[in-house]
Amino acid sequence: MSNISQGLVQIYTGNGKGKTTATFGLAIRAVGHGFRVYIIQFMKGRDDCGELEGLKRLQPECRLEHFGGQGWVHKGEHQEEHIHAAHKGFLRAQEIILSGEWDIVILDEVVNALWFELIPESDVFELLSKKPSHVEVVLTGRNASQALIERADLVTEMVLKKHPFEQGIKARLGIEY
């Protein structure tokens, strides 16, 4: 039985840092209240991200899988490896959401996968229309379309004001990954 009586759709978007971090905070809060959380990461192929190890400590109530090719994706230069990984991740997302066994399903960076045209936006809309009413779905990533924003119940935009990258400071272990 789900802990959520009315599952909504949330989006964390924008060019600022913190979209994934915010959803992982939500996951920790939810697990603390006995909810079950499943996280599917799109476009992330690295195995050395701290969240992978950290969230293992919340199992079995919280699980994380990541699907992504190696290297960067460039819009208009679709590499088959990235398209295949995104498709595989989306099939897994469908399976998890439609099972109704998880209270919250986070699709991390799925909005980026849509923007890069790795998966069709129409597939996401169809999935959201079929999700069980008690399942909360959270989407993250830059460049959320207006249609996706209108479909969501909650939208938060992270706005970049200042970032250490601008000063030449590279991504730091435990902070950015």
**What's the average pLDDT block by block, 10 residues per block, for the chain (177 residues)?**
86 94 94 96 76 86 88 72 92 98 97 94 98 98 97 96 83 73
**Cα 168 to chain center, whole Å?**
27
Assign 134 to helix, strand or coil.
Answer: coil
pTM: 0.91
**Cα 68 to chain center, whole Å?**
12
Gyration radius from the chain CA atoms: 16
**Helix and strand element counts for the chain (H, E):** 6, 6
Cα–Cα distance, 37 to 60 (Å, whole number): 9
Return the structure tokens found at 103. Answer: 């209270």
60 upstream amide cis, omega within 30 of 0: yes
Assign 140 to helix, strand or coil.
Answer: strand
**pLDDT at position 62, please?**
97
Domains of the chain, first to last: 9-167 (3.40.50.300)
Backbone angles phi, psi at 101, to 5 degrees: -85, -10
